[in-house]
Amino acid sequence: MDGMRFRSLCANVDRLSVGQLRELRRKLRALDARREVLARIDARGQVLERCVHCGGSALVRWGSTRTGLQRLRCKGCGRTFSAATGTVVARIRLPEKLQQALADMLAPVPSSCRRLAARLGVDKMTVWRWRMGILAALDRVGAECEAARLGGIVEADETYLRESRKGSREWVRHARDPQRSPEPPRPRWRDFRRLGLLLPAGLSRWQIPILTLTDRAGARHAERLPDRRAESLVAVLEARISRDAVLCSDGDGAYRLFAQAHGLPHYQIDATHGPRVIQAAFHIQTVNNLHSRFKAFIRPFCGPATKNLPAYIAWSIARLADQATAQNNAWQRMLAA
């Protein structure tokens, strides 16, 4: 808009009706949110020194993308790209609504995809794709960002979730062609009661172990274990716990073997018979609180598919920070190529 039209708009603002003012205010807020998100994305482009396609360093400005991002062109390969190329936000035409979807994911009570889609005015599958992309970024890049070892007094414990095959077509394929598609190893959970079957008691092979670690400085790590063997648990402990830490755990022998092998002070907490706190400092109450918060967070999803469980674990860990910090961290991970 040129200066003359802008001055004309400003001069006639007081002539607008109440409805027109509300519409103008709504559009200005939406535009401001969009510009803020685009500026956040473009900030990555300002520090790019090499082509994301060939790694060349001869870059020139080359107009802008459809969404308004600065486009760059590599003189070496001749290809163009922007700050969003190769990231979760690539080809997102409504980045301001993606920001709202991210804010909802980090809210105290996240909305369902249907409710959020109705609020944003987009299709529910669009919200689902955005959410899956954000979760993939949190899971993939979050693992790299959390590579630092935990130190000081470290609490460690496992929790378990029932295996879920939500979205699987294995029973449908078996019903259509039993010869090619073998019968799945267990009935669907909802069929146990319908068929009068007994649910597996205790910790069966259908219980997925999740190891959670936390130290007194506030660092946290949670990871799905491939199985319940001591070797799998010790491998994660060796990768995540520093060699000058003090380990607090339950009575699982794998923790004791790990502590003895690395010469770490180890306090075993008997949560059943006590004492639950040793010397007023050594306990596993913090990590048990994380388990409680994780299960409260995961309950509304009615058992997400086990193949997506690592992403949901990363999501729950990201939500533990305050909302502003969590959003900044999430954007850093989403903009990591």
DSSP secondary structure string for all residues of 216-263:
TTS-EEEEE-SSS-HHHHHHHHHHHB-TT-EEEE-S-HHHHHHHHHHT
pLDDT band at 142 (very low <50, low <70, confident <90, very high): very low
**Six-digit token string for 38:** 């685009």
Q: Tell me which of 85, 108, 125 is where a domain ends.
A: 85
22 and 55 belong to one structural domain: yes
Sequence-distant (≥ 6) Cβ neighbours of residue 246 within 8 angstroms: 152, 153, 154, 264, 265, 266, 267, 282
pLDDT tens-digit map of 10-28: 888 888 888 888 888 888 8
What Cα–Cα distance (Å) separates residue 163 from each residue in 37, 115, 166, 223, 308?
A: 38, 27, 9, 15, 11
80 and 101 belong to one structural domain: no
**Six-digit token string for 238:** 């060796």
pLDDT tens-digit map of 49-85: 899 999 999 999 999 998 889 999 999 999 999 999 9
Q: How many separate domains does the chain show?
A: 3
Q: Are strands 80-82 and 70-74 parallel, antiparallel or unpaired?
A: antiparallel
pLDDT tens-digit map of 210-248: 999 999 998 999 999 999 899 999 999 999 999 999 999
- Is 47 among the domain residues? yes
Strands of the chain (E only): list them: 59-64, 70-74, 80-82, 153-162, 207-215, 220-224, 246-249, 266-268
167 and 300 belong to one structural domain: yes
Query: Around 45, how many Cα atoms within 13 Å sit in the side-chain half-sphere?
Result: 25
Other C-beta atoms within 10 Å of 292: how many?
10
Run of H or E residues at 137? helix 124-145
Q: What is the pLDDT of residue 140?
A: 67
**pTM score, two decimals?**
0.82
pLDDT tens-digit map of 78-128: 999 999 998 889 888 899 999 999 999 999 889 999 999 999 999 999 999
Backbone angles phi, psi at 207, to 5 degrees: -100, 120
Query: Around 230, how many Cα atoms within 13 Å sit in the side-chain half-sphere?
Result: 9
161 and 289 belong to one structural domain: yes
Question: Greater confidence, 83 or 145?
Answer: 83
174 and 250 belong to one structural domain: yes
pLDDT band at 147 (very low <50, low <70, confident <90, very high): low
Q: What is the pLDDT of residue 68?
A: 87
Q: Which domain holds residue 168?
A: 146-185+206-304
227 and 293 belong to one structural domain: yes
Run of H or E residues at 289? helix 285-298
**Six-digit token string for 216:** 């007194």
81 and 214 belong to one structural domain: no
- Is 155 among the domain residues? yes
- Is 116 among the domain residues? yes
153 and 285 belong to one structural domain: yes
- Distance (Å, rounded) from C-alpha 259 to C-alpha 241? 10
Q: Tell me which of 85, 109, 124 is where a domain ends.
A: 85
Under a CB-based contact definition with an 8 Å cutoff, are residues 247 and 264 in contact? Answer: yes
22 and 54 belong to one structural domain: yes
Sequence-distant (≥ 6) Cβ neighbours of residue 45 within 8 angstroms: 69, 70, 72, 82, 83
36 and 125 belong to one structural domain: no
248 and 265 belong to one structural domain: yes
160 and 287 belong to one structural domain: yes
Which CATH number covers residue 226? 3.30.420
- Is 296 among the domain residues? yes
Radius of gyration of the chain (CA): 26
pLDDT tens-digit map of 167-205: 888 989 999 999 999 999 888 888 888 888 888 877 788
Geometric angle at alpha carbon 195, from 193 and 197, rounded to 5°: 65
- Is 192 among the domain residues? no
- Is 173 among the domain residues? yes
Q: What is the pLDDT of residue 24?
A: 83
The 3-state secondary structure of 65-83 reads CCCCCEEEEECCCCCEEEC
- Percent of the chain past pLDDT 70, that is, above it, reads 97
Q: What is the pLDDT of residue 289?
A: 94
